[in-house]
Each structure stands twice: as structure tokens, then as C-alpha cells.
Amino acid sequence: MGSLDDAARELLATALQGGRLSARGLDRVRRVALTLADLAEHDPPLTAGQVGTALQLRAEAPGGQGLAA
Amino acid sequence: MNAPITPTEPAADGPMGALDPEAALLVALASLPGIGPATVWRCHREGEAERAWSAASNGRPGTNRMLAGPVGRMGAATAARLVDAARSLDPMTELSRHRAHGRRVLVHGRAGYPERLRHDPAPPAVLFVEGRGEVLAQPTVAVVGTRNATRAGRELAVHLGGELAEAGVSVVSGLALGIDGAAHQGALGDRYRPGSSGGADAAPHRAAGPVGVVASGLDIVYPRRHAELHRRVVAGGVLLSETPLGHRPMAWRFPARNRIIAGLADAVVVVESRSAGGSMLTVNEALDRGVAVLAVPGHPTAPAAAGTNDLIFDGATIVRSTDDVLHAVGLGGSSPSCPDPGPPEVTDPAARSVLDALGDTPASLPEVVARTGLDLGEVSRALVELEGSGRVARSAGWYERCGGGGNRTRRSVP
């Protein structure tokens, strides 16, 4: 799966330390970030912007928004 | 025994003493055999109620633009019954009848109609209401589920209903057997007691209260076992229906009533459900309206958990505790936790920009992006760092500065 650039790695560390991201959540964040990179046709490694966005999107849904219609 | 005196106070829906002709026509149309909410809605929306009624009572419903469709689809016997009914009913009398005993008749677009349903994609043209409508001004959570609930499921529903009510939430449900009834019992202050539906009345002065939406007329108690619950819901909260008095809860009326449940809710919680069922219809209605859907997880082998587990798999929010539900409607006791900052000045320009954008007003992610003019990636990254250093806290989709002043009024789900 996508490798991370230094800034992205640091950002994930910040989120993990803050307890706002679990190990299982980490995996999903990386997948979402990878999708964002694909959509932007951006080559690896993943950037802090992509990882950051994946983190905010994950945190965003209070319920129902993730449910397939 | 002396009959109680029915006070002739004016209902909230009309000017003092006056009867609204449109309301009268809609009530009458809704009472016709084979005529459902969709047809009544069209008559109201198109301003055709009078013409439709006239055609029906003159024995020519099939010639009327609004009624032709339904009349064409119903059998000859039903069409004949429709004409008989139209000839024997007087709209104004029907309206008066429906406004007796403290009940109210609310028409879409008129004063008094529930604000929550005003912009609903499929609102009832006419609604019958009994009890304290003001409980709808509080946060609402629908708690629904199968009629064939397990004991554990019912216990949970009672518990959840109780904790939600304690937190100031008006609990919405359908008064059905199983999960629905249990949720309202909990909301009314009962502890779990198998086989009972009685108990003390909830304090009527609370701002929140139970919201019951039924498929029958308000005067019909269904199921009969819930007679006492029915009474308590009216006493402690509000009961609504789009079905006229005296009409039984025909099977087709249940899905229709479920859309009203979804329409009134800030969030829908499914406690137990099989893969298919009424609760799943309520979920679809909630999704159509952008209402949050939550589900209680169950054992993988339990039939009553099949539907709810499916929902979670598909992305519904899992309910591990009442807090998960409260969080979904912007309550939850947990204001965003702002740890002591203390750290040095924020020098990163993007972070600075985000902090300034948050100013005194909490914002959602798209709002922060709009306010800063930065791109989503930059904003997101800055937010991670600001949260990490304790300068920004996030809760239920809202971001806010820590330690800043700011209005922390309760918001509805973003």
C-alpha cells in the first residue's frame, strides 16, 4: 500500500499520539488517502495533505453519511 | 356519571372558532376508501381539493383529474364505496369531529403545522395531533425496531429511551409491539419489566416528551396491549397520525407512517431488525432525508440482528452506548475537550489562517475551507496539527478554537 512522505508520516504520528486514531483506523485512513491520491492522479508517496484530508473525512461523519443509499 | 365538559377552546390550527375549508376538504378526502396520502397531497398542492370532493360526492370521481388515477386502479366495489362515503360525509362536520377532545388538525402550509415536516419531500397534507406539540422543538431521536424483539433488545430499547429522555431528547416511535413500545416506555420513565406497558406518567412539564406516530386514526389503539402506553404518550408528549378517526391501521399505512417518523427525527436508531422489515423502510426514508442512521450491533447468528448488522456494515453509525446517539444529534455531554494549550505561538501560516477563521464561531470542515480560501489538504493537515497541540477541538463534525470565547449554542446535525 502507498508509502508516505515525511510530512505525512509525521502527521499520522501526531494523530496517533493524540489518541484520535486507533491502529485499525490507521489502515482505513491510509486507504482513503490512497483513493484521494488516485483521484488526483497523484503519484506516491502519499502527502500530508492527502493523509490530513483522510483523517478529517473519517472524523467527519456523525452517522448515516457513510451509509450506502 | 356526568359526562366531562369538553372545553370549546379554539384549536391551534385555525382562527378563533373558524373552520378552515381546506382542512375540512382534506380530512374528508382522506376519509374516502382507496384514497391515500399521496392523492390527498396532490389535491392540496394543486389546489384541487374542492373540485375533487365535488366530483366524488356527485358520483363522478373518475372524471376528476386528481382522483382518476386511484379510481381507475381500485375495483368497482371500492369505487362504489367511495361515492357512498363522499355522499354521506360532510367536510365541515368531519373537521369539527377531528378537532374535538383537544385534538388538532394541521394542514401543510398553514400555521401550526410541524416545522420539521414543512420541507419534507413527502409531507402529509393533513395531520391529526393530540398532546403537546412543543416537544417537537427539542432534539428528536427515532428509536425503532422489530415487533419480534428479543428480551435483550427490548431491555436495551427501554434503557436507551430512558437515557435519551433524561438528556432532553424527544423519543419518536411507532407504538408498535417490541422495540417501539419499549423505547417509549423507557422515555416515560419505566424500568424494564417484561410484559408490562403500564407505569407512572412522565412529568409533563419536561420540555421533551415521547412522540408517537401511528398508522390508525388517533381514536384507535393498536395494538390493544398498548392502550395504557397510548394514553401515557398523549399525556406526556404528542401523538400524530395522518389517518382519519375511526380508520384502522391497514397494512399499507405502516410504511407511510414510517416516513413521518423519519421526517420528524434528527437521527434514527434501529435497535433490532431482521434483514427486511418496517424498520428498514424507515431507514430508507431517513436516508432520503439526510437523517443520520445508527444501529445497535448484535450477535452474528441472531436473526433479529441481521438487519442492524447489515446497516453497520454499510456504514451506519454503531451504537455502543447512549452517548453515541447523543453525539449524533449534537448533544452528548462531551463538549469538545480542550486540553491546556500552553504551547508556543502558532507560526505555520496555514494553521494561523485556520485558527483565525475559527475565530469565535465553530465551523464545519467545508466552512473552514471556505473561510480560509486554502485547499482541503492544507486545511486538513493544519487541523490535525492544531488538534494535536490542543488549540482546536472537534466534536460531532464541528471544529472550534480552544480557550476562545465563542457561542456554544447547540446546533442541529450539520
Give the pLDDT of residue B8: 39
Predicted ipTM of the assembly: 0.78
Rounded distance between C-alpha atoms, residue B144 and residue B178, angstroms = 9
SS3 of B113, please? coil
Q: Which helix (H) or strand (E) holds B383?
A: helix B376-388
pTM for the full predicted model? 0.78
SS3 of B293, please? strand
Question: In the structure grid, which three cell numbers stand for residue B114, read together?
Answer: 410541524
pLDDT band at B244 (very low <50, low <70, confident <90, very high): very high
Let me know if B322 is exposed, middle or buried by CB neighbors in 10 A (0-12, 13-18, 19+): buried
Residue B218 Cα, gap to closest chain A Cα (Å): 32
> Residues B115-128: pLDDT tens digits?
999 999 999 999 99
Question: In the structure grid, which three cell numbers stand for residue B220, read together?
Answer: 384507535
Rounded distance between C-alpha atoms, residue B401 and residue B366, angstroms = 16
- Contact across the interface for A62 and B375, Cβ inside 8 Å: no
Q: Which helix (H) or strand (E) holds B283?
A: helix B278-288
Q: Which among B160, B203, B159, B157 is positioned nearest to B177, based on CA atoms?
A: B157
Task: Find the CB nearest A64 among B316, B382, B384.
Answer: B316
> Residues A8-45: pLDDT tens digits?
999 998 888 877 777 778 888 888 999 999 999 999 89
Q: Per-residue pLDDT for B335 more than 70? A: no
Q: Distance of alpha carbon B360 from its chain centroid, rounded?
A: 32
Side chain identity at residue B318, one-letter code: I
Dihedral sign for Cα B67, B73, B78, B80, please.
Answer: positive
SS3 of B311, please? helix
Contacts of A53 in chain B (CB under 8 A): 376-377, 380-381
Q: Per-residue pLDDT for B359 more than 90? A: no
Give the pLDDT of residue B73: 94
Between B3 and B333, the higher pLDDT residue: B333
Lowest mean pLDDT among A54-68, B18-32, B137-151, B203-217: A54-68
Rounded distance between C-alpha atoms, residue B35 and residue B48, angstroms = 14
Q: Per-residue pLDDT for B89 more than 90? A: yes
pLDDT band at B331 (very low <50, low <70, confident <90, very high): confident
Q: What is the mean pLDDT of chain B?
A: 88
